[in-house]
Chains A and B, each alone.
Chain A
């Protein structure tokens, strides 16, 4: 009951209060959109980490592939943006197919292999000039259209789109986690061999989680391409598209569903609004210190920390 109520309040603030009060402030809205983009990747990354037990440094590849696929489809084939975004997700999913061989690897080996794979896609985007425009990039990627009499290409419209996409993904994550497969995936953390011998096809389940995570990241990448209307390989495949989400997810609590989202919004907004004004250059340093502090004092992240304090207050009151 309690958590349900607070989720409704959050939704009301996110869909109502924020666009109404801050909608005219372009700077804050663009920060929020950027935070939600990072939050979306963080959510997809945490899904793979939490359910699949895999630490990925390769999500920038899914992000970039999703962005390029959607941008090219709208630019060259005239595909409607909504379909192109979904196909961007499918493109990222197909990109993850070539990563299947590394699923056999564990821990740091998986992380390194997927990092190498991610680089391959950046090279393709740079060198395949005829299609991708090479390092010059793609410009005038179509903006979001006007629908239901509302212009979605503006800051508020884009904010509403990414917010909805991210929340739908969070819901999917929740459904997967609560399913039989989610329980089997949870069991896999403790011992993959034990889950195998009781009849869980762990390789298939891990592959499915990789697909879901790649698809989500691809859609987010596609959103971002239509939002900024410009792509180049160094931007689309930038390592920051995976490192920032990792920081956000760990900060917020990567074992929870809302943790990565809340982590992304908190970390990104604090970084841009507070630290950046205090130290114009190198403000990420404080971010690093903050992350270290979080890992030391609440290794499971911000959301579990908040939940625990709410519970304590209840017990006290």
Chain B
């Protein structure tokens, strides 16, 4: 469904991604793991068009999306749930959700999508009128996920959802990820929690120093081997 073909990208003079290629198959969960600074978030930002590519191409359904503005990605059925949640703290939970359906083509269905989000995340429904800044870390992450789902994306790009969350909440979160996968959504997940991430994944990629160090189907991944590579530097 999504193909990243030999891309380079970075910040100004500093190049971060070195000839990265990977693909995400429809209906599957593609997981990218790797240590801090490996370029995982940079890769996701490049896919979303938040960063320009200096080399290579990214294709969605076989069509190049290189140079597509980030705000046009939701029209193509792609949504991102950014690292650190980035929820709108000064707005209520419901306003946050409605923002997720901001593009005109989604606004008509926004109410109905809101109800679906509440069904999936009951903790949000109870507090629909509360300012999002008052939520705990786990609840903020759930809100960020719910907001990302408001545009009913085919492809969901999730950046480090378990960052800084308590183990119980992490379990709950991976439960949600499992449900999303069961709904048939294509997911690209960046995670640091290797054990959990490999557990839900179909395909696993390990990134190191801006390169893909290992690509394997999740079933074949040996966590021990993975950890050896992970800490090899």
Contacts and interface: CB of A to CB of B under 8 A. Distances in A.
A198 interface: yes
Interface of B: 48, 50, 69-75, 79-80, 82, 86-91, 95-96, 98-100, 102-103, 106-107, 147-148, 150-151
B74 A187 contact: no
Nearest to A196: B70
15 contacts: A183-B95, A183-B99, A184-B99, A186-B88, A187-B91, A190-B87, A190-B88, A190-B91, A197-B74, A198-B99, A198-B148, A199-B71, A199-B102, A200-B99, A200-B103
B97 to A, nearest CB: 10
Contacts of A284: none
A199 B103 contact: yes
Contacts of A195: 99, 102
A194 B103 CA distance: 14
A201 interface: yes
A191 interface: yes
Contacts of A191: 82, 86, 88
Contacts of B151: 198-199
A109 to B, nearest CB: 14
A307 B95 CA distance: 24
A202 B71 contact: yes
Interface string A169-187: 0000000000010011011
A197 B73 contact: yes
Contacts of A202: 71
A194 B82 contact: yes
Given A187-B99, A202-B71, A197 B50 contact: yes
Interface in A272-315: none
A106 interface: no
Nearest to B89: A190
Interface of A: 180, 183-184, 186-187, 189-191, 193-202
A231 B197 CA distance: 68
Contacts of B69: 196, 201
A199 B88 contact: no
Given A183-B95, A184-B102, A193-B82, A199 B73 contact: yes
Contacts of B96: 187
B99 A197 contact: no
A201 B68 CA distance: 12
Contacts of A201: 69, 71
Nearest to A198: B100
B74 A193 contact: no
B80 to A, nearest CB: 4
Contact of A196 (B50, B87, B90, B150): B50
B88 A187 contact: yes
Contacts of A199: 71-75, 102-103, 106, 151
A197 B90 contact: no
Of all A-B residue pairs in the complex, the 4 with the closest CB atoms, nearest first, are A194-B86, A199-B74, A199-B103, A191-B86
Contacts of B89: 190
A59 to B, nearest CB: 25
Given A196-B50, A199-B71, A186 B103 contact: no
Contacts of B82: 191, 193-194, 197
A148 to B, nearest CB: 43
B91 A186 contact: yes
A201 B72 CA distance: 8
Task: From A189, A193, A199, A202, name the one whose CB has the most chain B CB atoms within 10 angstroms.
Answer: A199
A197 B48 contact: yes
Contact of A197 (B79, B87, B95): B79
A108 B230 CA distance: 40
A202 to B, nearest CB: 7
Contacts of B95: 183
A273 B91 CA distance: 41
A203 to B, nearest CB: 8
A190 B69 CA distance: 20
Given A199-B72, A201-B71, 8 more contacts: A180-B102, A183-B91, A184-B99, A190-B86, A190-B87, A191-B82, A198-B150, A199-B151
A105 B100 CA distance: 26
A194 B91 CA distance: 14
